[in-house]
Amino acid sequence: FDTDPDPVFIKLRGRRIPVYPPDNAQPNTNPDKPDQRLALEWVYGYRGKDCRNNLVVVNETGELAYFTAAIVVLYNLKKHTQRHYTQHTDDVKSLAVHPDGRTIASGQVAGHEEVQGELMVNHHYLTQDHMDQLMVNHHYLTYGHTDQLILNHHYLTQGHMDQLMVYHHYLTQDHMDQLMGHMDQVLVASFTPFEINEGVLSLVSCGKQHVSFWNIEEGRLKCDRGRFDHHVKPLYISCLTFARNGDVITGDTNGTIYVWREGTNEISSSVTNAHQGPVYALLVLPNGDLLSGGGKDGTVRAWNNMKELSPTGVELRYGVTGIRTLAFDDSNTLYIGTTDNCIWTVRPIPLTLHLKSLSSQGHSDSLQGLAAHPSEPKFFTAGSDMTVRVWNSADHSVQLFRPPADNRDKKLIPCAVSVSSTADTIAVGYKDGRCAQEKISDLKYSPDGKCLAVASHDNNIYVYTLENGGKSMELCGKCEGHTSYVTHFDWSVGSDFIQSTSGDYELLFWDAKKCEQIKLAKDMRNTEWATQNCVLGYPVLGIWPKKADGTDINSVDRSHSRTLLATGD
């Protein structure tokens, strides 16, 4: 009689996927979630590529505040420690520090429940030990020096995106005024640090082809548009700062720096071609000199602003895509955020403008591959920025591996990475390589170190035998049978079998030596797998929520103790 166990079915997108319990399967007597919880230890990276207001100095605590994804990082450079604010529900887009030096506003893009285009704001009160949230659910731009917060809200009406300026007092929670602005995109706004007229607060906003000067008197907002007259017409004014004499200084993506006379909407002077490409950052130093950062030429330039802008001859150049942000602290240290997601430290000031150290870095494009070192606290990543990096999780350092010389002209984009069991070689799969007909989605060394399997978007898995200590390889065979691209796969402990999943939610099994499909899934129920990266199978039944549509779980990994699973969506 048949003693084979009955399958359990996973239902996804109309497909019933049978999975078989092993013969030694025990009933689950404890369905509760495990007691263990993830604790964020370190954030690698910084979002400089596509965000403004992304790096500020918190002088009260001596920390740098920046963000990536939905996390705000407070980094102590001297102690090399991080604190994290993790209460955002979507990507953070901007930061502002209150003049008290202890309160930060961080704005995120709207979650699924919010109106499209909104920016939500959280306020955090900082001490050396913790961060307390003070207020949520507002749209933020900048702090004033008397507890005001200006919020910029994209207001969708009749198919047009208008700008709604909201004037808010964050301590009393009072909504003081709002004024519909204009259809031109607003990129940045800032309160003037000086009181031009008694009882009148002023702020400046700028963006697509405009600069606007706002006065707040008796709780009401009034606006004057900047006049460009005979000066170079603007494209996108992307940054602004204030000179010590009260003048407003703005930078444009056309490479021009404009100086606006204090208390007026008129330009007193301008410098065309200040940078080759956009001006993304401006910063006035304590001595009155101006620093500007080029978003394309990767240059920081110093300007004397006694009567009109003139270059001082001091420049900083290095091999980055561009300068995104400039920040300055009380210890005369300059911090430079770049568009390739790095933060550089420069000291001392006055400037010789030589690089002191690299405070933070990350991939400058999407992260495609991740693999852990088998025995040391290190991990490897591969990114669409055409780099492979090794990270040390003990001291939180990083070493950059640049692409091989023969790949630089081809611009091959890494998509996956794997480390051999002896950690003497790593394998990198590329988007347009020679190992498969389409993009490589995953690759793994066999546990015995004799083979390398490569999964591809051409629906196949290629098995290679390794030669010359892993430095060369020869195709052993091709596993054909999936009807969609291969997403994940695992080797068996003995390196004899492979299990794999695909984009249409198939779970297939293979004889790795013959590269042939094993048709009867029940025959593989007692196989011990070296890893558990396939999101389908009996060992991972519990990761799928009820009424899952298949996109709920995109990745899974098993702990070395074989008692815990971590999933990614």
Q: What pLDDT score does 191 carry?
A: 87
The band of 112, judged by pLDDT with boundaries at 50, 70 and 90, is very low
CA–chain centroid gap for 304, Å, is: 35
Q: What is the pLDDT of residues 148-177, one digit of tens each?
A: 554 544 333 232 333 444 444 444 444 445
- Contacts of residue 14, defined as CB under 8 A and 6 or more positions apart, other chains included, come to none
User: Is the pLDDT score of 138 beyond 70?
Assistant: no
CA distance 374 to 421: 6
Name the least confident of 177-181, 189-193, 239-243, 485-489: 177-181
What is the CATH number assigned to the segment(s) 365-568?
2.130.10.10
pTM recorded for the entire structure: 0.84
For the chain, the domains span: 50-135, 365-568
Q: What is the pLDDT of residue 22?
A: 93
Mean predicted lDDT score pLDDT of the chain? 82
Q: Higher-confidence residue: 103 or 85?
A: 85
With contact defined as beta carbons under 8 Å apart, do 240 and 191 qualify? no
When pLDDT is averaged across residues 434-459 and rounded to a whole number, the result is: 91
**pLDDT at position 104, please?**
87
Q: How confident is the model at residue 111 (pLDDT cuts 50, 70, 90)?
A: low
Query: Which residues fall within 8 angstroms of residue 519, CB to CB, at 6 or more apart?
Result: none
User: In whole angstroms, what is the distance from residue 415 CA to residue 401 CA?
Assistant: 15
Q: Tell me the mean pLDDT in the region 370-396.
A: 91
Residue 124's pLDDT band (boundaries 50, 70, 90)?
A: low
CA gap 381, 363 in Å, rounded: 9
Nearest Cα residue to 272 out of 247, 286, 292: 292
Structure tokens at 159: 């198919």
More confident residue, 271 or 111: 271
